[in-house]
Amino acid sequence: MLRRVLGQTLGFVGYTIQYGCIAHCAFEYIGEFVVCSGPSMEPTIVNHDVVFSERMSRHLFKIQKGDIVIAKSPFDPNMNICKRVIGLEGDKICTSAPSDLFKTHTYVPKGHIWLEGDNLKNSTDSRSYGPIPYALIRGRVCLKLWPPHSFGTLSESPTQRIIKSPSDSDSD
């Protein structure tokens, strides 16, 4: 009697461990669902939207300029930020405000990326805290799932902040 209960408990524990590990691998290497909050990515992503962020691009180092990414906040690793990639390592970034007379530029250092929100007036991003290391990226947002009327892939950057270098392909 006791042996049967023990056998069943061990079997249950074994299955839990196995499915837990499969779930970990799915969330870590395939993708995860993210609920976004805050106004910094309006109008592309608004408060309480649910998006799907895939992990493969990040592990294969295929994140590109113009992608929307989820990253760990550089000031609090338990918090996530959702922003658009404006520049990769080596890219030129315009750091002056549009109203300035003299334009200043900076180059993104090796191993870092420059993030900005789509809602430039209401977003704390690399314009205030500088470029962040690439390894803080968690995933690339590829699909918006909720609300249903805006289901689908996400649009291009509404701000004209991405400077296309001559080597970029003109396929869009």
Partner 1 sequence: MAQQMTTGQRYLRAFVSGFFVAVPITVTVLDRLAYVARVEGASMQPFLNPGGGSECDVVLLNRWSVRNYQVQRGDIVSVVSPRNPKQKIIKRVIGLEGDFIRTLGYKNRYVRIPDGHFWIEGDHHGHSLDSNSFGPVSVGLLHGRASHIIWPPNRWQQIKPSLPLNRGPLDTEEKQE
Of residues 40, 53, 126, 157, which has the active-site annotation?
40
Q: Which is nearer to partner 1, 43 or 133 (CB)?
A: 133
Kindly tell me which of 28 and 156 has the beta carbon lying closer to partner 1.
28
Q: CB-based contacts of 115: which residues, under 8 Å, 6+ apart?
A: 69, 71, 81, 83, 84, 85, 86, 125, 126, 132
Whole-number Å distance between alpha carbons of 80 and 39: 14
Smallest gap from Cβ 19 to partner 1, in A, equals 9
Query: Contact, 113 vs 87, CB < 8 A?
Result: yes
**Min separation Cβ 17 and partner 1, Å:** 7
Shortest Å distance, C-beta 18 to partner 1: 6
Catalytic residue among 53, 57, 65, 83: 83
- In the bound state with partner 1, the residue whose beta carbon lies nearer, of 20 and 98, is 20
Binding residues (CB under 8 A) for partner 1: these are 17-18, 20-22, 24-25, 28-29, 61, 72-78, 109-112, 132-136
Query: Containing H/E element for 75?
Result: none
- Residue 72 CB, nearest distance to partner 1 (Å)? 4
Give the CA angle between residues 87, 88, 93 to the nearest 5°: 35
Cα separation of 33 and 144, whole Å? 10
Using CA atoms, how far residue 34 sits from 50, 131, 136, 142, in Å, is 6, 23, 16, 11
Q: Helices marked H in 30-118 — which ranges?
A: 56-59
Catalytic residue flag (residue 83): yes
Pick between residue 117 and residue 131 the one whose CB is nearest to partner 1. 131
Q: Mark whether 110 is an active-site residue.
A: no
Q: Are 117 and 83 in contact (CB under 8 A)?
A: yes
Catalytic machinery residues: 40, 83
